[in-house]
Amino acid sequence: MRIEPSIVLQLNSDVRQTRVADEGIILRQDDGEILVVNEVAIRFVELIDGQRSLGELADLLLQEYETEKSTLIADLAEYAGELVSQNVLNVVAP
């Protein structure tokens, strides 16, 4: 699915996540699937709160990582789409 910067995401209720050193672990409780993700990805997931848009999340990440905003938004949109298809995230608005 196409993810626009205005879209608001939230974690599915069965998802649990944490950091282990410089990477993250995401568990989907319903089917027991585990994803290991990189540092930026777990930071992105940590920031998702069902309130802020993808664009606002990108602004927060830009304060922590040096990258071009347009590139970051494009990467986040693509990654968010993957996580939606993997039943980690769902779209709450618009």
Interacting residue ranges for other proteins, rule: CB under 8 A: 13-14, 16-21, 23, 25, 27, 29, 32, 34, 36-38
Closest Cα partner for 69 from 82, 79, 56, 78? 56
- Residues 87 and 11: beta-carbon distance below 8 Å: no
Report in angstroms how near the CB of residue 37 gets to other proteins at its nearest. 7
Cα separation of 13 and 89, whole Å?
A: 9
Residue number, 4 or 36, with CB nearest to other proteins = 36
Closest Cα partner for 13 from 28, 32, 31? 28
Report in angstroms how near the CB of residue 76 gets to other proteins at its nearest. 18
Residue number, 1 or 20, with CB nearest to other proteins = 20
Residue number, 32 or 94, with CB nearest to other proteins = 32
